[in-house]
């Protein structure tokens, strides 16, 4: 799967640039646009996977623009707005928006919504693997994301099973960020229904998997330093990660 491309439409320069940078950092390709003309230009030139559209555009209503875009091409649209009343929200959905996010929004939440919308249409595989190329280094270890080869600090090769490798990649893609079991499950299985609620057994499967990965990576699996447990939450990779 190629990198998904976002079209960020906002006439507030500052916000537009902030969003652009943020989503680039999240591994998306981003086209910024401020006017209707720029939107058209971008959509002719590039394949656009998702549009982030501010409702409050200077000259024309974002709502109309949304409805219009919707009729022209089947690109998912997430509306962003300072107006958060249910009424506004409904108008947004009526105009064909796939989701509606009120300002001020949490970027991570917005990113999550973007990912959810992309996933919904089978448009993109899980983004967890977005940083899937190259070599990751952490605490003396290294993981070649292409081959899945893992090298221990001494240089020795360690063999991980497919699922263990996937778990490690998911953790490496989110260092220092506690991941809920559900998030891990989604990362491990891109086809998993994001709506689905996690039952007990599924949660334990993650625990067991984490345990096995710890057994291979941690110096002392009984006192894990690398993959830490966040009680009541999930697991974190507790180290710096660099990628080449």
Partner DNA sequence: CTGTTGGGTAACAAACGGTAACAAAGGCTC
Partner DNA sequence: GAGCCTTTGTTACCGTTTGTTACCCAACAG
Chain residues that interact with its own copies, rule: CB under 8 A: 11-12, 14-15, 18, 56, 58, 82-87, 102-109, 162, 176-178, 231
Kindly state the smallest distance separating residue 19's Cβ from its own copies, in Å.
9
* C-beta closer to DNA: residue 37 or 197: 197
Considering only residues 205, 216, 238, 243, which one is a binding residue for DNA as defined by CB under 7 A? Answer: 205
For the bound state, the minimum distance from the C-beta of residue 13 to its own copies, rounded and expressed in Å, comes to 9
* Residue 204 binding: pick among its own copies, DNA, none (C-beta 5-8 Å cut-off by kind): DNA
Q: Which does 233 bind (CB under 5 to 8 A by kind): its own copies, DNA, none?
A: DNA
CB 33, CB 43: distance < 8 Å = no
Tell me: does residue 231 bind DNA (CB under 7 A).
Answer: yes
Q: Which is nearer to DNA, 21 or 204 (CB)?
A: 204
Q: Which stretch binds DNA (CB under 7 A): 7-15, 82-90, 145-153, 195-203?
A: 195-203
Residue 106 contacts which entry, DNA, its own copies, none (Cβ below 5-8 A, type-dependent): its own copies
Nearest to its own copies of 70, 182 (CB atom): 182
User: Which of 47/204 has CB closer to DNA?
Assistant: 204
Cβ neighbours of 95 (radius 10 Å) = 22
Number of other residues whose CB lies within 10 A of the CB of residue 164: 20
Among the candidate windows 32-40, 72-80, 90-98, 162-170, which touches DNA by CB under 7 A? 162-170
**Sites of contact with DNA (CB under 7 A):** 159, 161-164, 201-205, 207-212, 214-215, 221-222, 224, 229-234
């Amino acid at each position: 799967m190629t990198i998904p491309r976002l079209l960020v439409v906002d006439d507030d320069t500052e916000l537009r640039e902030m969003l652009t940078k943020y989503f680039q950092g999240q591994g998306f390709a981003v086209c910024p646009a401020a006017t209707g003309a720029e939107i058209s230009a971008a959509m002719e030139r590039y394949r656009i996977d998702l549009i982030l559209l501010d409702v409050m555009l200077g000259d024309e209503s974002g709502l109309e623009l949304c409805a219009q875009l919707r009729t022209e091409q089947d690109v998912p649209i997430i509306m962003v707005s300072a107006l958060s009343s249910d009424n506004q929200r409904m108008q947004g959905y009526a105009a064909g928006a796939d989701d509606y996010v009120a300002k001020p929004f949490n970027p991570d939440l917005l990113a999550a919504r973007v990912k959810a919308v992309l996933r919904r249409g089978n448009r993109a595989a899980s983004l967890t693997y977005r940083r899937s190329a190259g070599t990751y280094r952490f605490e003396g270890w290294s993981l070649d994301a292409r081959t899945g080869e893992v090298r221990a600090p001494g240089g020795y090769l360690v063999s991980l099973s497919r699922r263990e490798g996937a778990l490690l990649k998911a953790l490496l893609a989110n260092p220092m960020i506690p991941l809920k079991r559900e998030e891990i499950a989604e990362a491990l299985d891109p086809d998993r229904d994001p709506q689905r609620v996690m039952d007990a057994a599924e949660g334990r499967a993650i625990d067991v998997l984490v345990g096995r990965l710890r057994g291979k990576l941690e110096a002392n699996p009984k006192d894990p330093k690398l993959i830490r447990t966040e009680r009541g939450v999930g697991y974190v990779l507790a180290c710096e990660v660099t990628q080449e």
